[in-house]
Amino acid sequence: MLRTALARDAALLLLLSLPLTACGDDDGPATDPDGGIAQRDAALPMNEPCDAPGALETVACGLCGTVQRFCTAAGIWEYATCEGESGACEPGASRTAACGACGSRREVCTASCVWEAASECESEGTCEPGEIVRTRDGCSAGQRDLRCTDECTFEPISECEVETCETPGATEPVGCGMCGTRERFCTAAREWEYGPCEGQGGCMPGTSQTEACGFCGEQTVRCNATCEWIPSGECTGAGECAPGTTTTRACGGGETQPFTCNDACTFEPSGECSAPTGGGALGESCVAGTCDVGLTCDEVTGVDVCRAPCTTDEQCVASAYCLGEEGLCSDACTAFTDAGCPAGAKCDYLGEADTTTPSPVMVCSAVGSGRANAVCTTNAQCARGFSCVIETGSSGRCTQVCDGSHPCPSGQTCSGGGTPFPFPLPGFGLGFCG
């Protein structure tokens, strides 16, 4: 338990009644630089020959979807509509993505329709945005403070000054930057020498900005005296879903129609009405009525997955636990690799299992756009590699997940304080960067 928180004529008639669209080309689609769903080419394969008039088959298309095609008497394939697209990109597509400290790397779309790094992170800057150091560089005498810009380069934020001290060898902590502290040391020349500014917050007190919230919404946030962003006012303009997530709606006569959430965070039809067929295995992507007997198509964090009903942990497969409030087993997926989740989803930490040995409860989530410090209420609003951490008295923030093989950016440590559990969790080492 979770401690926390289709006969040929009929086929031809069906296909001719459907709108004809293509399902991609070899060059790959343009994509959203923030990792949004790629837009496939709408042009049909032209005059594609086939050898068996009357043949009907299902083939892959678009973003890991499927489409039925029919071989006409003229020996040309006719296509129906590409359905069930759930990936983040079209296999074979490539893009340049941000990484590290203002760096970039080449990513390619795998056969599972997920982005994968194809090169090392290159052209990184010298620092992480917001980092503050005190240095003698650029000073004929004394020291000055430098702050790392959004371009990952240092720029001065104070004048050079000589600060004298009375007791050589003395050390003391002093405030710095955004609610941080650093140690200063009195040298033999009776001048203070400063160490790095550590433990800084996320903002400068008294500043404000607009951030994304909910699904495609906006909200004003203000920086309080402890250097934390606090929501000010309501989240406005929010939609109904996370882009790329799917659901179904009743059409009548027992049929259902799939819908996919678009980039404006609203659901739109992504296929035709049809009767449920069944056949989705445990852990596979689904729409209502498409799971194997005994499984339920449900979503915990924005992505539909075939899950097993339960009342105890023993009714779930290994590495999965019973979510008490849902009455369904969690997902036996793996953080960072997202193994065990449908294409286009990510594996997120949900909480700690109430077991003798500390064990993580993991679920497959939709992939949002929120990165470090973005306001959030669910994991589905955060990008791959980030989870929504909500601390007491603060709004939820997308926070980078880490472990021994996935370190934090320079200047951050893999630890932090989540509520209601500490990080990194003993026994399995997952943590949050902070």
Q: Please write the tens of the pLDDT for every residue from 165-206.
A: 999 999 999 998 888 899 999 999 999 998 888 888 888 888
Q: Is the pLDDT of residue 10 over 60?
A: no
Closest CA relative to residue 21, chosen from 39, 9, 38:
39
pLDDT in tens, 16-26: 333 333 333 34
Between the alpha carbon of residue 378 and those of residues 195, 260, 330, 415, the distances in Å are 37, 19, 16, 20
Closest CA relative to residue 136, chosen from 109, 151, 116, 158:
158
pLDDT at residue 43 in the model: 39
Confidence at 397, pLDDT banded by 50, 70, 90: confident
Q: Report the distance separating Cα 13 and Cα 16, nearest Å.
A: 5
pLDDT in tens, 119-142: 999 999 888 787 888 888 899 888
For the chain, which residues make up each domain, given as ranges?
A: 8-114, 132-194, 240-366
Which is more confident, 403 or 121? 121
pLDDT in tens, 213-247: 877 888 899 999 988 888 888 888 888 777 776 67
Q: What percent of the chain has pLDDT over 70?
A: 80
pLDDT in tens, 313-360: 888 888 888 887 777 888 888 888 888 888 888 888 877 777 666 677
**DSSP string for 377-402:** SSGGGB-TTEEEE--TTS-EEEEEEE
Closest CA relative to residue 90, chosen from 56, 39, 136:
39
Q: What is the mean pLDDT of residues 65-80?
A: 87
Q: Report the distance separating Cα 207 and Cα 295, nearest Å.
A: 50
Q: Report the distance separating Cα 357 and Cα 353, nearest Å.
A: 9
Average confidence score pLDDT of the chain: 78
Q: Report the distance separating Cα 71 and Cα 52, nearest Å.
A: 6
pLDDT in tens, 251-299: 776 677 778 888 888 888 888 887 655 557 888 877 655 777 777 777 7
Confidence at 394, pLDDT banded by 50, 70, 90: low
Q: Report the distance separating Cα 137 and Cα 129, nearest Å.
A: 19
pLDDT at residue 210 in the model: 87
**DSSP string for 237-282:** S--SS-TT-EEEEEEETTEEEEEEE-TTS-EEE-S--B-----BPT
CA 78 to chain centre: 37
pLDDT at residue 298 in the model: 78
Provide the whole-model pTM.
0.41
pLDDT at residue 311 in the model: 82
pLDDT in tens, 41-58: 343 477 889 999 888 888
Strands in 138-198 per DSSP E: 144-148, 154-156, 171-176, 180-186, 192-194
Confidence at 417, pLDDT banded by 50, 70, 90: very low
Least confident of 119-123, 133-137, 302-306, 363-367: 302-306
Q: Is the pLDDT of residue 103 over 80?
A: yes
| Most trustworthy range by pLDDT among 278-282, 362-366, 391-395 | 362-366
Q: Is the pLDDT of residue 35 over 50?
A: no
Q: Report the distance separating Cα 409 and Cα 434, nearest Å.
A: 9
pLDDT at residue 12 in the model: 30
Which is more confident, 298 or 73? 73
Q: What is the mean pLDDT of residues 147-173?
A: 92
